[in-house]
Structure 1
Amino acid sequence: MSREIDELLPERPEARLRIYAWSPNDPPAEYVGLLKVGQTTKADVNARIRESQGQMQQAYTLHVDELAERGDGSIFRDSDVRQRLVNKGFENPIFGSAREWMRCTPEDVRTAITELRTGVKLSGTHHETFPMRREQVSAVEKAQGYFESIWAEDYHAVPRFLWNAKMRFGKTFASYQLAKRLGAKRILVVTFKPAVEDAWQTDLESHADFDGWQYLSSATGGSPDDAYKTRPLVYFGSFQDLLGRDRKTGLIKAKNEWVHTTNWDLVIFDEYHFGAWRESAKDLFEGEDEKVKQKELAAEYNDGLVVLG
């Protein structure tokens, strides 16, 4: 029995508009620092880019490839993305009839796309919108519930909670979500492994949930005294530096005195297992005249403590 032609031919995929941004690998001087922001309904964005180059094919890097769709099914266009970038202060140089070039970063393009998707204006490069995973939600809710139960009994208590997080758990993102749930405005992150700073900074500065939050560390420079008082502040530092003492005087380092005088809403000890029980680490918690337990030191300058194992 013969079959209808429509049954024999594969279903044609629905064309969906995509926004892309690319840059030539070896650009002329006037194109250095520019991205070409365009759109296509081709499933293969690279095919569209090669098509647009014509016979003058050149090596390039595709930086952004995103659907141009909102949650309600409506779409926006590449011109909308470029206009949003212009409104944010980015340059849109015109080369003849070419209007697609923008002087910005891929993260800036993604942020503009997120703004057009959500209708929310964002600062910096807060373009990520992914939600917490189920296990992260569980961890945050358990910690929040415990903190609030302790504060209900004693408003001045310093509750402590341990997250024994496995690799790839997403502890930095979950920690920030906990801080947001708790309404923390001053968050101190103390790590035993300074190399993890990039993750703490990237998660804060890329996700839309933390738009308006401030990140400072010795690497970024700046002082908490110069930060906006009404916006949440995260300060990242190494355990060895922030809690260390001057070898000559035995006193807290002058540049870090503010750490001990600031009333932190939340203190997070990261990578705790790397050095918490070493003698050098214990010495940092101990005074000259009396031995102070680690939890007592934490109580001196914060309202809550989360330890990330």
Structure 2
Amino acid sequence: YIFDFAPDRALRQIQEYSCRLDISDTNPEKKVADFIQFLPVLSYDGMTMKNISPGELLDIATSGTTATLLARRWESAMLVNVENATLERLLNNPKAMEALMSIEGFRNLNMQSDIEIIVNKSNAVKKIKKEASDEGRDLTEKEKKEISEEEKEYKSKRKQIQEKLIKFATRIPIFMYLTDFREQVLQDVITQLEPGLFKRVTGLEVNDFELLTSLGLFNAGLMNQAVFQFRRYEDSSLSYTGINKHEGEVVGGWDTTIRYEDMKKI
């Protein structure tokens, strides 16, 4: 096995080598397909491992990712924060709770009750485990059963809230595709430059979005990576023109900006 933490570099070498094998065939995808029959390329997305197809390999070699992997990045559970501290901030802010309930998918949930269950039961489980640890003993069968039941309930409700937030996050690439503003921080584009478009795409008012963001519902670091990956893929899909009109520009991320040349390294 060969492990490479700069996959676009390794896959670019495979692409170049494959294309030199048979000069009579001009189809690069077919050449790569023939080659990876003997040297399969595996991709791990954090959950599963699968073979990369010839088309995906060529996408990564040219843009650093594929449409499939890019879509999965926007479906990542790590983009949103649903740990107890964030949920408690949400619970203690009636306006934020009202804003969340305006998002499609949350209207059918009893959010206040669900969050209280998540926080109270997860804290109760921690207390039982801590008491057993402090006493230097193993959990009793009764305690194990109680913990198992409590964990099953609060983890299910936490996951449900997480999935609803992720579904909202997947609307953000659609918004980016529709807006022409690249140099500004995406949060500024949403709140100052294109609030009407954001409302039409996500169904959420800008004031409500600002409030939810201020409570830390979104992981800013990973959101920046996802935004820059989207920008890179968007640029590479137009590179066939031979003209790069964004060279030397500043590119806006989720809550920060970087130079275009630095974005290409992400």
TM-score (norm 2): 0.21
Tell which structure's C-alpha radius of gyration is larger: 1
More strand by share: 1
Taking structure 1 as the reference length, the TM-score comes to: 0.19
Structure with bigger helix share is 2
Return the structure number with greater relative CO, CA threshold 8 A, min gap 6: 2
